Structure 1
Amino acid sequence: MSRLAKAAVAVLAALFVCPPLLSAQEATAPAAATPAVPSAPIPYTQLRPKPAPVRRAAPARPATTKLQAPAPVVPTVVGALLPTTAQGARLATGEALPPGELEPFVDGLVRDAMAADHIAGVTVAVVQNGQVVMKKGYGFASLSPARRVDPDRTLFRLGSISKTFTWIALMKEVEAGRMGLEAPINLYLPERLQVRDQGFTQPVRVRQLMDHSAGFETRQLGHLMERRYERERPLQQYLRQERPRRARAPGEASTYSNYGVALAGAAVSYVADKPFERLVEDEIFVPLGLSRTTFREARPVRQGLPGPMSAAQAAGLSDGYRWVGGHFEARPFEYMGHIAPAGSASSTAGDMSRYMLMLLNNGTLENATVFGPVAARAFRTPLRRTAPGINGWAHGFVVYDLPGGVRGYGHDGETLSFRTRMVLAPALGLGVFIAANTETGARLTQEAPEALIRHFYTGDQSFPRAGDPALAQSAHLYDGYYLPAGRARGGLEAFVDMLRGGVSSQVTPAGRLLLGGREWTPDGDARQGRFIDTMGNQRLAFNVESDGRTFQDSSGGDLFERAGFWRRPPTLALLAGLTALAALATLGGVVTRDRREFRQTSIQSRIALLQNTQAALWLTAIALFVAWAAKTGDAAEVMYGWPHPFLVIASACALVAAALTVATVVTLPAVWRGGRRVDSWTPLRKAGFTLTVLIYGAFSAVLWTWGALSPWSG
């Protein structure tokens, strides 16, 4: 390859190795709003000295405040798993955590993470058997001025944990007989918000919003979060203006949808005839005494929008941070009030303690009963049949497969800056809430609850898990590039989703599956498509009956489909490199071509001008795509600045170049007819022109199918 060609390919490669954007599952998706299978370095528990073994003595009485619960948790009422004591386990299922040993363990876990991953602030709450065992703040809620995290006063953005309040409000309406889970959601919506048929015969039902199987495509860039409060819209206006396409039949597969949850919140509000924010305050926050939990946001009063949060709440808000250039960079407040039911809530560790105690006690705390036995059972009953270890959506709550065979429930949350997780293990009477105010906090929030349960309630486990040599024989079932089924289906956002939202899967010689930056080992027979993380408890389930064309991860947030050759980033990169090379060769020929090759017919002269224009447009488009990609290191800039002018202009240039390519295809016969030898291109130049047309044509076709030729779609 020539030096010029190598340089062109190197520049194009930059487009495909830039840092990832937000995942296709939106910024508040569960378990990883990052691509569905985020990378996983060595767990913190293996980076620090192992704490001393827990003595099997009766636990000391916690020094924290005891909250009176009217009745103990009765797991059998809601079908909680009750595993036997694991071999070598530190505590039996019925034993409580010793507070004197719990706090040092959590301290070490959190402080190691804050140092390793550069996290500004963390808040933690642990409850068990009707008591707050631990609540604590670490680091800073604000660096300028300096303000430390206070577990009772510092509000962290909850992200998608907000959805659990929405599901409680909905189930209360179900218990009251005003809504039905099997009823079409349109029965509970005003006409202008009702879901359109869009070619589907079956209506979207209430339960399909709770298990994210309504079939909506995922669109988020430029509107899921706002940097300026002036851009906020009322919930109903947002739902009407940002209505997504229906990409799949309802009930077919779970594809995580913030829009679907917001629609459910709007339905509950419509049925109850109350603004959503007031509804959850009246029905949940006030009865539970959650004075520092709110869906309202810190902004000035504005007509047509819900009122802002109180001054006391606003004073306790934590800033959100990004670690860049060796220091913390504060991000602006993330406004999400326009899609409040899906993710705008903020809370403290103290309030989340009370919330978890209520959930563990089947809807009751002290003298307040938030929901009844029907809802309590629903929140621990999966709606979907899934493979072992894969979330089946317990009426909106995530189902977790925890260490030691313990089944957990809860939700994860993610905004641009905040990472949160709430895990409830009814069999242990245990609830864990953890939140970080820095975008690098995902590893800590994801691993901490499992690390705690593994340390105290399961036997010693050796990591990494060994591979299985038999996996190599089934490599064809799993190797490939997979795209999320819930991705945007058209326009520039579809282009970004296909470019950045997929994951590659490859079987290694060691008998492991390398997928999404993690290594997985077969969980049973290598041909059955079940895998477990070599360093943790996460799982994958491939549909081997369809030759491995789909898989789901533990979150159950999306279905991943194997992409064909033309829908893979390496194919796009190859064609982009060839296009750049052809364009450079075309323009270079204008300067270096032998004078005898300038002999041409009048039509060849016009086609030469057309070819040179194409070359300039393709090079401009590719250069702008690369320049835009270089600016995607901060997901906040992508979200707030969507669509970037570089991307729109690049798409417009590519669209014109592709249209000109169609014209050159039509003129090919005229080029080859030429005329007399002395008045026509040489055969070599005709062949070169034909090759250029074929390259441009293939690149144009791929860009069209990817959605990159739609500059208006931003």
Structure 2
Amino acid sequence: MRLPSLIIGVLLGVTAIPAPSAAAVRSQPGCGRVTAAAVAGYADSTMPQRLSRDRVPGAVMSVVSGGRTQFARGYGFADVARHTPMDPQRSLVRIASITKLFTWAAVMQQVEAGRLDLNADVNRYLTGFRVPATFPAPVTLGALLSHTAGFEDRVIGTGARTAGDVPPLADELAAAMPARVRPPGEITAYSNYGAALAGYVVAQVSGEPWDRYVQRHLLDPLGMAHSTATEPVPPALAGDLARSYDSDAEPPAPIPFTFDTLSPDGAISASAADMAKFMTAHLDGGRGILSPDTTALMHARSFGADPRLGGYAHGFMDRVMNGHRVLMHDGSWEGFQSALVLVPGCDLGLFVSANGTNGVDTVSAVVDGFMGRFAPPTGAADPTGAPVAGVGGTSPAVAQPGFYAPTRRAATTVERLTTLLGEFRLTVAGDGTVHFKGRTWIPQGDGVYRRDDGKDHLMFRSGPGSARYVATDGPAYELLGSAEEPLVNAAVVLAVLGLGLSAVAVPLAAGWRRLRPRGPVLAARWRVSRALAATAALLAVAFLVGLTVTLTTGTGDFLYAVPTSFRVLLTLPLVMLALAAVALAGTVTGWRGSGARVASRIHQVVLLAVPAGLTWFLWQWNLLGWQFG
């Protein structure tokens, strides 16, 4: 999940802003005046309508400025069945990936203490397992913080239904390490595994489990007494844990608590009031958790494909909204959708969380409206200038049409198939305008393209070898080869289905011959080969039908483990290949003297082409065998 991301220019580190004692904070140039009444007026007029429109049971929101909490309020229900209202002081929401900001802060604490080096090979701090040396350059903590380590993505097995199903973090990291698919520092590819690995490194050098470290060194010093990094939530807080809901159900249905097997990437549950304390610390030079110098370092840009685009600031998403530099992060887990937004130039922080699956729309609308009110557009022009080499390992490139997929995707496991579901076609018009992801991107000169609503920017980048990317203020996308394009794969699948269904003609013809024994007598080898080829073709059809059903109805269970039904489904192609191999051998050796007519011979070749076509598709998407990683 990502909130709308916007322009980024060449940005400097952030300095701490002294906190005035007045409840009403004097507005900075270009910033709105922040008062409890003003924020309440906005939130009260916006949140209830959005919750109703988006079918979300409840939400919480907190706003900080001037070194204090200016506003904290709950809306709707934390628990619908118990009619428990959302309470900003007590209701714990699962902040999901915003947890990473605590993990990154923990890393920066250890950097400050001299125990960690952001530029060192992460293997220096690991025991029991190591990150393989797939590329000459090692994976560093700095690469983990900027999501440029080059790991592929994975989802299977990252959730658990019970605490007993959660392995020790070290075991999970060792057993489920994703493959390194690109050199570190080349381009961003958001990685939950990378964050979990960084959290484990903190545990290694500190001698404390990650959740205990966060409690003792971050939550406790900030007085975040109604927050926890532990799963399950401790009994003293469990009664205040909000529930999340499936907004598409009628009525919205509660979603069971889901454990995170990579806890440093998303396990924290916190109240909105506590999150206000975390935001205040960051806006006040790290008070209570980091030194001002370390905070300034953490807030400084650490990676960007180009300085004119959004990037990362040591774990924070580094963006520009309405002309203001913004440090932010979002999170999505179960049905919770959350966002944390800091506007250092306005001494302003916003946290908002909704407990329904449609809450992504709620949160996005609330953030956009809040920024428009309290950090309004400055009128600053888009960043322009001569193309420059970005912090990363790419260089400017010409616009290239084709199909692009997010860099955050699987490459070596069965999850690679999800690439087909997340591809976007990019076209370039004669006037240079780019059409991508359903939007129009207008050239601004010097390789920068602005989205038609002004809320995002795009650049074409070239990596080592043949890698070609589209970098935006948010995610990056990679140009796919022709074999990965959806039209090519759709054509292959449709051909397999159409030709495979013709296999029913074989038993029908055999039955007809038995009823009316006319024509040439077919050799036994030919009859057996025909039957085997027809069976193999029908198995191909059955597999594709089963795969379609799985992708459209049964993907939820993959979060916990590979379902047995999918493991069984993957046996069909292996049986198909065995039958097809025998059928091919029998066809070749029995071609002469088979007694078959020309039509039957042609049809036999067609049937043998069916498993061949499906085999190409299976090989392309790692579906031959059980490639689960």
> Which residue is equivalent to 1:416?
334
Structure 1 contact 417–437 (Cα < 8 Å) conserved: yes
Structure 1 contact 540–554 (Cα < 8 Å) conserved: yes
**Matched residue type, 1:422:** L
> Which residue is equivalent to 1:483?
405
501-510 or 443-452: bigger deviation: 501-510
Does the alignment pair 1:211 with 2:146?
A: yes
> Which residue is equivalent to 2:459?
541
For the residues of structure 2 that align with 1:589 and 1:486, how far apart are their CA atoms?
A: 45
Structure 1 contact 383–394 (Cα < 8 Å) conserved: yes
Does the alignment pair 1:329 with 2:329?
A: no
Q: CA 1:609 to 1:95, structure 2 compared with 1: closer, same or farther past 3 Å?
A: closer
Does the alignment pair 1:569 with 2:569?
A: no
For the residues of structure 1 that align with 2:376 and 2:627, how far apart are their CA atoms?
A: 55
> Which residue is equivalent to 1:657?
576
Q: CA 1:656 to 1:483, structure 2 compared with 1: closer, same or farther past 3 Å?
A: farther
> Which residue is equivalent to 2:559?
639
Structure 2 contact 302–313 (Cα < 8 Å) conserved: yes
For the residues of structure 2 that align with 1:705 and 1:636, how far apart are their CA atoms?
A: 24
For the residues of structure 1 that align with 2:32 and 2:256, how far apart are their CA atoms?
A: 44
Structure 1 contact 575–695 (Cα < 8 Å) conserved: no
* Equivalent residue for 1:314, pick from 218, 238, 250: 238
Q: CA 1:477 to 1:391, structure 2 compared with 1: closer, same or farther past 3 Å?
A: closer
Does the alignment pair 1:455 with 2:373?
A: yes
Return the offset for 1:570.
3.4
Identity across matched positions, percent: 25
**Matched residue type, 1:431:** G
For the residues of structure 1 that align with 2:523 and 2:542, how far apart are their CA atoms?
A: 29
Return the offset for 1:684.
2.2
**Matched residue type, 1:499:** L
Does the alignment pair 1:184 with 2:184?
A: no
Q: CA 1:275 to 1:550, structure 2 compared with 1: closer, same or farther past 3 Å?
A: same
Q: CA 1:647 to 1:370, structure 2 compared with 1: closer, same or farther past 3 Å?
A: same
After superposition, what is the alpha-carbon deviation per residue over 1:166-217, rounded to whole angstroms, capped at 9, x for unaligned?
1111111111111111111111122x132122x4333211211111122211
Return the offset for 1:91.
8.2
For the residues of structure 2 that align with 1:342 and 1:383, how far apart are their CA atoms?
A: 19
Return the offset for 1:597.
6.6
After superposition, what is the alpha-carbon deviation per residue over 1:590-616, rounded to whole angstroms, capped at 9, x for unaligned?
314774576433432231121122123
Does the alignment pair 1:104 with 2:41?
A: yes
Q: How well do the aligned residues superpose, as a CA RMSD in angstroms?
A: 3.0
After superposition, what is the alpha-carbon deviation per residue over 1:387-438, rounded to whole angstroms, capped at 9, x for unaligned?
35633211111112211x1111121111131111101010011101111111
Q: Superposition pairs for residues 112-123 of structure 1, below 5 Å?
A: 112-123=49-60
> Which residue is equivalent to 2:270?
347
**Matched residue type, 2:246:** R
> Which residue is equivalent to 1:520?
440
Gaps of 5+ in 1: 1-28, 38-74, 82-89, 299-308, 462-475
Q: CA 1:460 to 1:217, structure 2 compared with 1: closer, same or farther past 3 Å?
A: closer
Structure 1 contact 391–555 (Cα < 8 Å) conserved: yes
Structure 1 contact 542–552 (Cα < 8 Å) conserved: yes
**Matched residue type, 1:246:** R
> Which residue is equivalent to 1:202?
137
Return the offset for 1:487.
2.0
Q: CA 1:95 to 1:125, structure 2 compared with 1: closer, same or farther past 3 Å?
A: same
569-578 or 280-289: bigger deviation: 569-578
Q: Superposition pairs for residues 166-315 of structure 1, below 5 Å?
A: 166-190=103-127, 192-197=128-133, 199-221=134-156, 223-298=157-232, 309-315=233-239
> Which residue is equivalent to 2:298?
379
* Equivalent residue for 2:415, pick from 493, 496, 513: 493
Return the offset for 1:354.
1.0
For the residues of structure 2 that align with 1:381 and 1:91, how far apart are their CA atoms?
A: 21
**TM-score for both structures, normalised by structure 2:** 0.87
> Which residue is equivalent to 2:469?
550
Return the offset for 1:92.
3.6
* SS in structure 2 of the partner of residue 713 of structure 1: coil
**TM-score for both structures, normalised by structure 1:** 0.77
* SS in structure 2 of the partner of residue 254 of structure 1: coil
Q: Superposition pairs for residues 75-94 of structure 1, below 5 Å?
A: 78=14, 92-93=29-30
> Which residue is equivalent to 1:390?
309
Q: CA 1:96 to 1:387, structure 2 compared with 1: closer, same or farther past 3 Å?
A: same
Structure 1 contact 382–392 (Cα < 8 Å) conserved: yes
* SS in structure 2 of the partner of residue 113 of structure 1: helix
Q: CA 1:548 to 1:261, structure 2 compared with 1: closer, same or farther past 3 Å?
A: closer
Structure 1 contact 492–710 (Cα < 8 Å) conserved: no
For the residues of structure 1 that align with 2:31 and 2:480, how far apart are their CA atoms?
A: 47
For the residues of structure 2 that align with 1:169 and 1:597, how far apart are their CA atoms?
A: 82
The number of aligned residues is 592
> Which residue is equivalent to 1:84?
none
* Equivalent residue for 1:579, pick from 474, 496, 506: 496
Structure 2 contact 138–184 (Cα < 8 Å) conserved: yes
Structure 2 contact 154–415 (Cα < 8 Å) conserved: yes
For the residues of structure 1 that align with 2:135 and 2:565, how far apart are their CA atoms?
A: 37
For the residues of structure 2 that align with 1:96 and 1:139, how far apart are their CA atoms?
A: 27
Q: CA 1:246 to 1:674, structure 2 compared with 1: closer, same or farther past 3 Å?
A: same
Structure 1 contact 216–245 (Cα < 8 Å) conserved: yes
Q: CA 1:400 to 1:645, structure 2 compared with 1: closer, same or farther past 3 Å?
A: same
Return the offset for 1:448.
2.5
Return the offset for 1:571.
2.7
Q: CA 1:193 to 1:573, structure 2 compared with 1: closer, same or farther past 3 Å?
A: same
Does the alignment pair 1:688 with 2:622?
A: no
For the residues of structure 2 that align with 1:297 and 1:535, how far apart are their CA atoms?
A: 41
